[in-house]
Structure 1
Amino acid sequence: MKLQGETPNEYKLENPPTDCVSSVKFGPNSNQFLLASSWDCSVRLYDVISNTMRLKYNHSGPVLDCCFQDAVHAWSGGLDCQVKVFDFNSSTESLAGNHDAPVRCVEFCPEVNMIITGSWDQTVKLWDPRTPCGAGTFSQPDKVYTMAVCGQKLIVGTAGRRVLVWDLRNMGYVQQRRESSLKYQTRCIRCFPNKQGYVLSSIEGRVAVEYLDPSPDVQKKKYAFKCHRIKDSSGMEYIYPVNAISFHNVYNTFATGGSDGYVNIWDGFNKKRLCQFHRYPTSISSLSFSTDGTVLAISSSFLYEQEDVKEIPPDAIYIRNVTDQETKPK
């Protein structure tokens, strides 16, 4: 096992956020540009190849999520309830609109060319980036905790362990209402690049692999597994939240990051763990594979889930060049 400082294929970004990193996302069709949102109220754009921060803009409160619309526009939302769009070329920001409570999730769907935001106000809103203005508000059964775009479908995970599948071309009704197959609160949902299903993680060290096709034959394939658990020398098992999931677009494998400080790579179809990286200084708060799957961004941020921690490690974003050996199904 290689120790922290000895990994030649991994480095830390300079100028990291100064508080918890809430989200890291690579740009479309690029393994060079990375957005990072943070509780320090900032959204930062990094050039990971030259290891420089290209620009930064701020919200008036902690930022909970961000995404690229295209190579030159970022969207973000957070505790100030605002949805902002930032133009990198002109370095100008504009306010697209608001939610009535903090904005938890921000995603772009290229298939319908819409930005989607999910909020603790129990709604999902669509935004037309050409105008920037609201293009509809859609009630959800509870606070939105996580969202994922799956082709033209939107998968929303809310409080109360509910999962809703919407069709972004017809938001008149919910396509599927589901309940999480995990017993505890949903933390993250991400979709398989082949669009057949999604992976859902909970606060209780478990991950579920789910399929969208409701036919009984396909539903038989779903399963869940335990991960991000550590046994100490006395045999006591510590169970950690699984905070982050990111898919490898080429191989349909995925990475999970937990509050145990570990990142694992999984082959969901063959139900196998492919590898585990070294332990990071604190909880993994977000993960993002680049589009081509050659680079993984890993944010390591203390999430205040443990008490009596004497020294909180500084927030950091690691850029790791991953190999086929780590990410390709065996």
Structure 2
Amino acid sequence: MAPTTQFELAQPPNDAISSLAFAPDAPSRLLVSSWDKNVYLYDTHTASENGDDAAEGGGVSHGTLLKKYEHPAPVMDVCFGADDNEAYTAGMDWEVKRIDLESGEQTTLSKHTAPVRRVVYSKAHSLLISASWDSTLHIHNPTNPSLTPLTVPLPGKPHAMAASPSKVIVAMTSRLVHIYDLATLAGALESQSGSAPPPWQQRESSLKFLTRAVAAMPSDGGYATSSIEGRVAVEWFDASAESQARKYAFKCHRQTDNTAAAGVTDVVYPVNALAFHPVHGNTFASAGGDATVALWDAEAKRRMKVYQKFADSVAAVAFSADGRFLAVAVCPGFETGMEDYNAEGRTKIVIRELGENEAKGKGAK
């Protein structure tokens, strides 16, 4: 078996990375959004000038920066749209934008009254959903620009959002979690009545501290959330007592400190990002401020793998659509605040080609 390859992308962003997104069809096409006010489009597997892929642990740069799309303010999130040539962004300029990745043309779909934290796109429902710190969702149908975006008020400030095949999960302050049915949102937008439908479910987070990330199961069965306090929770949509009894939470991304005066203590890090594997749907990756990435089996409730420690905090992770590649965004964390923060020269995007059974959980076929 050939050795697993892992390499850094050439020409990474100059500031912290906010999100990563692989294309829906091309497994080597990657979008990256950054605090440096740009969105980057890479071909992760084009030959580079400095040689072949690096074996695991190597540091040879690879891949090609295809285009860079400048924004007026830091970009908080990016996602692909209906195809590999369409993208949507969430900005600190309060705007939700569409990018034609071929021409570079940018179109504003709507403007919130505060920074936009997250955007997700549902191809099945032709819906783009943006979540803003003005405590609203905007629901757009990019295929029908004549429709006025629907505004959905939220009871808290959203910090994480993810879409499953039929639902969108919004995690907010005060441990609030709202789950919306995508078909219902699409119907409300189409009617143009202006009235927002209620959430399909309202929940209290299983985690006691602020939610940092949420990821939806490809099976449409449920989702995982993570917090700033080194914990992950796995839950199912089914509200039956039997299904709810299956939910669980666990500690992770912690390190033991033997130097503490009071004895051995845990140093707790935020779990910054989560991503489910698109093929082995019970497997998900978690990424933390402890500079590590781990793979977990959601059904078996076990950790499958921890990768080598990176040079800095891991801000985002994403699997390619075919499940063969894992992208890891490495940059200094914001744990010590924004003053004197400098990620230039320390921001890296690592691409790992997964082994044949690397992400295959227990009992998976």
- Bucket of the pairwise TM-score, normalised by the shorter protein: over 0.9
Q: What's the counterpart of residue 93 of structure 1? A: 106
In the TM superposition, residue 212 of structure 1 has moved relative to its aligned partner by: 0.5
In the TM superposition, residue 154 of structure 1 has moved relative to its aligned partner by: 0.9
Q: For the residues of structure 1 that align with 2:91 and 2:226, how far apart are their CA atoms?
A: 22
Comparing both structures, which one devotes a greater share of its residues to strand? 1
Q: What's the counterpart of residue 280 of structure 1? A: 310
Q: What's the counterpart of residue 262 of structure 1? A: 292
Q: What's the counterpart of residue 55 of structure 2? A: none
Structure 2 residue 358 is the aligned partner of structure 1 residue 326:
yes
**Quick check: 1:145–1:157 contact (8 Å CA) kept in 2?**
yes
Specify the structure having the higher radius of gyration (Cα).
Answer: 2
Q: For the residues of structure 1 that align with 2:133 and 2:116, how far apart are their CA atoms?
A: 7
Structure 2 residue 161 is the aligned partner of structure 1 residue 141:
no
Q: What's the counterpart of residue 104 of structure 1? A: 117
| Alpha-carbon distance change, 8 to 268 in structure 1, aligned in 2, over 3 angstroms | closer
**Quick check: 1:77–1:106 contact (8 Å CA) kept in 2?**
yes
Q: Which one of 213, 229, 232 corresponds to residue 254 of structure 2?
A: 229
Identity of aligned residues (%): 39
Alpha-carbon deviations, 1:171-208, whole Å to 9, x = none? Answer: 31111110101110001010111111100000000000
Equivalences, count:
324
CA RMSD of aligned residues (A): 1.7
Q: What's the counterpart of residue 168 of structure 2? A: 154
Alpha-carbon deviations, 1:35-62, whole Å to 9, x = none? Answer: 0000000011101011111111121111
Structure 1: which amino acid aligns with 2:131?
G
Q: What's the counterpart of residue 65 of structure 1? A: 77
Q: Which runs of 5+ in 2 are unaligned?
A: 47-62, 186-196
Q: For the residues of structure 1 that align with 2:205 and 2:357, how far apart are their CA atoms?
A: 32
Q: Which runs of 5+ in 1 are unaligned?
A: 1-6
Q: Which one of 258, 268, 273 corresponds to residue 239 of structure 1?
A: 268
**Quick check: 1:125–1:134 contact (8 Å CA) kept in 2?**
no
| Alpha-carbon distance change, 328 to 102 in structure 1, aligned in 2, over 3 angstroms | same
How high is the TM-score relative to the length of structure 2? 0.85
Q: What's the counterpart of residue 52 of structure 1? A: 64
**Quick check: 1:166–1:175 contact (8 Å CA) kept in 2?**
yes
Q: What's the counterpart of residue 177 of structure 1? A: 202
In the TM superposition, residue 134 of structure 1 has moved relative to its aligned partner by: 4.2
How high is the TM-score relative to the length of structure 1? 0.94
SS in 1 for 2:357: helix
- Structure 1 stretch 89-98 or stretch 255-264: which is displaced more? 89-98
**Quick check: 1:62–1:79 contact (8 Å CA) kept in 2?**
yes
SS in 2 for 1:160: helix
**Quick check: 1:72–1:88 contact (8 Å CA) kept in 2?**
yes
Structure 2: which amino acid aligns with 1:120?
W
